[in-house]
């Protein structure tokens, strides 16, 4: 059974049709929308600041979502996929974004809609990722602009697939 616990009297809140794996952990001031999924060993820790997530957010295996004490909350939009082993920390991620496997997004970074953070990329503090771009590398830099239709289809497909996958586990 997933670990869902309060901190300082604040419990996580989940929208409808969310799914949490048996080994996922969600703590504290976390509010998520509908059809979100938290996969094996994912940790979402709203203990030092708040975390807000939209609809159809998937936090894949071993990913961590956290904040910085009293300075950097984490806000995640709709249709966001956070890949295996990724770290999302004290940042803002807008709608329709893919955070690749093993990527790190640091405090006060802003990832605009329709963007892809490549696997293994490190998005440094205060970086602003433009809409419709792919950022890759360490530190992450814009490597190309992508066709809006392509990005939308890829990102939507992954988010929708995770809604389908969680139904297999319910």
- Note the pLDDT of residue 10: 98
For 15-52, letters b (16+ CB in 10 Å) and e give bebbbbbebbbbbbbbebbebbbbbebbbbbbbbbebb
If we measure between CA atoms, which residue out of 93, 80, 77, 84 comes closest to residue 127? 93
- Note the pLDDT of residue 78: 98
In order along its 170 residues, the chain shows pLDDT tens digits of 899 999 999 999 999 999 999 999 999 999 999 999 999 999 999 999 999 999 999 999 999 999 999 999 999 999 999 999 999 999 999 999 999 999 999 999 999 999 999 999 999 999 999 999 999 999 999 999 988 787 778 999 999 999 999 999 98
- Note the pLDDT of residue 150: 78
CA 159 centroid distance within chain: 11
Cα–Cα–Cα angle for 151, 155, 159, rounded to 5 degrees: 170
Token pair recorded at residue 37: 């999924």
Domains annotated on the chain, with CATH:
3-169 (2.160.10.10)
d(CA 98, CA 158): 8
d(CA 41, CA 46): 16
- Note the pLDDT of residue 17: 97
- Note the pLDDT of residue 66: 98
Q: Which residues contact 167 (CB under 8 A, 6 or more apart)?
A: none
Phi, psi for 21 (deg, rounded to 5): -65, 165
If we measure between CA atoms, which residue out of 107, 64, 59, 109 comes closest to residue 87? 64
């Amino acid at each position: 059974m997933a670990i869902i616990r309060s901190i300082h009297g604040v419990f996580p809140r989940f929208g409808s049709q969310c799914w949490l794996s048996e080994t996922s952990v969600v703590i504290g001031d976390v509010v998520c929308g509908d059809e979100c999924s938290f996969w094996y060993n994912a940790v979402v820790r709203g203990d030092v600041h708040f975390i807000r997530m939209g609809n159809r957010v998937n936090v894949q295996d071993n990913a961590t979502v956290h904040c910085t004490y009293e300075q950097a909350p984490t806000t995640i939009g709709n249709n966001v996929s956070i890949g295996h082993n990724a770290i999302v920390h004290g940042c803002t991620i807008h709608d329709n974004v893919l955070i690749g496997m093993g990527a790190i997004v640091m405090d006060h970074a802003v990832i605009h809609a329709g963007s892809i953070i490549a696997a293994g990329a490190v998005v440094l503090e205060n970086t602003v990722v433009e809409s419709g771009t792919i950022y890759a590398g360490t530190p992450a830099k814009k490597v190309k602009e992508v066709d809006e239709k392509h990005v939308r289809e890829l990102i939507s497909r992954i988010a929708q697939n995770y809604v389908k996958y969680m139904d297999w586990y319910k």
